[in-house]
Structure 1
Amino acid sequence: MRHPVTRDGRYFVVRGRLWRMADPSLPEERRASLTRELMAARRAVGVALRSGGTAALRDARAAVDRAKVALGERGPVWWDDGAPDLNRKLVRNTPYAAWFEALGAGPDGT
């Protein structure tokens, strides 16, 4: 993987920010299907942005959100140990700061 993943597998880091990983308990077929839905929704966002369609953009962004929630990347966390959700937080402001610094990774996480 191009971006470092936390040891617990909950997040990957891009430009110094944590991003939640997909739920590892999802069956591979389901994950692949949801990933295809997510990519199609992201393409629809691009089309809507280029065409200036406000309703289309709203719908496409909602589709992205639905796919990300279904994948476990947004919405309720997929772990059950009570740890907080640190999605989108700067890694330097989280309990993962020392781990990330020890990697010697640059600000883009690589």
Structure 2
Amino acid sequence: MVERYITINGRKWRATDPEIPEDAAARLRKALMSARRAVGAALRAGDGAAERAARGRVQEAKVALGERGTPWWEQSAGERRARWERGVRLLCPPD
């Protein structure tokens, strides 16, 4: 059985959708980390607009990975694929 949650430091978090191909998941994780760094930079700079934009990218990446939004185990295979493909289109520049 695929685990739906992971526990980190005693806190339960939704696991990434295991059906996302590894190359796409890696690109989405990279986009997530970039967005998180942008949140920190915006906070340090006191730039509210940049912070909101960066937090929006964090949200998009987390949804694309299946960690937020409709639980991936409640979605059809097509819905799951559409979710992560949209995230890759929005967040990941072409190689």
What is the TM-score of this pair, normalised by structure 2?
0.73
Partner of 1:101: none
Structure 1: gaps of 5 or more residues = 1-6, 82-110
Partner of 1:14: 8
Work out the CA distance in 1 between the residues paired with 2:22 and 2:2.
20
Work out the CA distance in 2 between the residues paired with 1:80 and 1:65.
19
Partner of 2:60: 66
Task: Give the greater-gyration-radius structure (CA).
Answer: 1
Cα offset, 1:8, TM superposition: 4.1
Partner of 1:37: 31
Work out the CA distance in 1 between the residues paired with 2:24 and 2:2.
22
Cα offset, 1:12, TM superposition: 1.1
Aligned mate of 1:77, from 71, 80, 93: 71
Identity of aligned residues (%): 55
Work out the CA distance in 2 between the residues paired with 1:80 and 1:54.
35
Alignment RMSD (CA, Å): 1.6
Deviation track 1:2-52 (CA, whole Å, cap 9, x = no partner) reads xxxxx7411111232210110000011110110010010000001001000
Work out the CA distance in 1 between the residues paired with 2:8 and 2:46.
29
Higher relative contact order (CA 8 A, sep 6+): 1
Relative to total residues, which structure has the larger helix share, 1 or 2? 2
Count of residues paired in the alignment: 75
Work out the CA distance in 1 between the residues paired with 2:74 and 2:2.
13
Structure 2: gaps of 5 or more residues = 76-95
